[in-house]
């Protein structure tokens, strides 16, 4: 039986085993998927041991995405531009391919599951950290009319726009200087992780705007509540979580699983936990 796992620190909270087990059952794939804990400086030793025992692939979560980037023998373009790896896949020649499936997971959730358009739309991305860097290339491949990056520290947003200028037309600013009237807003900022929202003007929300928060929970996030009050359609990042897992599963197995049933299962589980 082929072995896979997710590695992180902490790792108890990960829903990846449930997701990939469900994918395997649905697609009739014979595999087992575990959680791996590693000390903060122990990624290489844990990965060496895992793959030397015959494992086929590894998902990587915090704080090891940069370690995995260095560990891979070769990188996909989206991993290289992201500067981080969240999926390692054993190749037939014994080498390890490093990929970043976060961006494709986000795009798939927005376009295929939610039915929102990216192509030709005015797109605002909030935040200039690893979450944004990991998703910019797939978002630009969707050909938005414009893509603006806004961050509390404007210089970081400007640097990111410069780094990706070869892939499309980008602009950038601080949070207080965002132009008005966007069609789609994606919150990739660290504010969401601490239960807050980016302090931005209501004018950024255009008519018919859609607002997506990369974090998720049983209840709408502060950013979602703010955007909804301004008339925007909103969604959280649970679909991105399942979508990036589906992309990793496809990389490993060559089979693309259905996202919707697993997403519904996780959504129900989150609601049940919140009611306990």
Catalytic positions are 65
Here the tokens at position 190 are 């660290």
Is 127 annotated as belonging to a binding site?
Answer: yes
Is 15 annotated as belonging to a binding site?
Answer: yes
Is 129 annotated as belonging to a binding site?
Answer: yes
Is 135 annotated as belonging to a binding site?
Answer: no
Is 119 annotated as belonging to a binding site?
Answer: no
Is 131 annotated as belonging to a binding site?
Answer: yes
Is 47 annotated as belonging to a binding site?
Answer: no
Here the tokens at position 89 are 């896949």
| Cα–Cα nearest to 2, from 22, 21, 26 | 21
Is 173 annotated as belonging to a binding site?
Answer: no
Is 1 annotated as belonging to a binding site?
Answer: no
| Cα–Cα nearest to 213, from 196, 229, 202 | 196
Here the tokens at position 97 are 């391919």
Q: Which residues belong to the annotated binding site for NADP(+)?
A: 77, 127-131, 151-156, 214, 237
Q: Which residues belong to the annotated binding site?
A: 14-16, 61, 77, 86, 102, 127-131, 151-156, 214, 216, 237, 244
């Amino acid at each position: 039986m082929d072995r896979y796992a997710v590695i992180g620190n902490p790792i108890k909270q990960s829903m990846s085993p449930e997701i990939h087990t469900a994918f395997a059952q649905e697609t009739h794939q014979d595999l087992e998927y575990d959680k791996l804990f590693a000390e903060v400086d122990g990624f290489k030793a844990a990965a060496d041991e895992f793959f030397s025992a015959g494992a086929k692939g590894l998902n990587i979560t915090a704080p090891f995405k940069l370690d995995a980037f260095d560990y891979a023998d070769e990188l996909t373009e989206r991993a290289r531009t992201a500067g981080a790896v969240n999926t390692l896949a054993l190749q037939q020649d014994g080498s390890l391919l490093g990929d970043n499936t976060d961006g494709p997971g986000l795009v798939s959730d927005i376009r295929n599951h939610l039915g929102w358009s990216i192509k030709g739309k005015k797109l605002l991305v909030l935040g200039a950290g690893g979450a944004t860097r990991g998703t910019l290339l797939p978002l630009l491949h969707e050909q938005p009319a414009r893509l603006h990056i806004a961050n509390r520290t404007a210089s970081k947003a400007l640097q990111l726009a410069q780094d990706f200028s070869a892939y499309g037309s980008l602009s950038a600013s601080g949070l207080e200087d965002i132009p008005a009237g966007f069609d789609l807003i994606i919150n990739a900022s660290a504010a969401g992780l601490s239960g807050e929202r980016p302090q931005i003007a209501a004018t950024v929300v255009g008519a018919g705007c859609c607002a997506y928060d990369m974090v998720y929970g049983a209840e709408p996030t502060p950013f979602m509540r703010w955007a909804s009050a301004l008339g925007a359609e909103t969604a959280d990042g649970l679909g991105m979580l399942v979508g990036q897992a589906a992309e990793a599963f496809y990389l490993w197995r060559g089979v693309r699983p259905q996202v919707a049933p697993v997403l519904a299962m996780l959504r129900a589980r989150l609601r049940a936990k919140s009611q306990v």
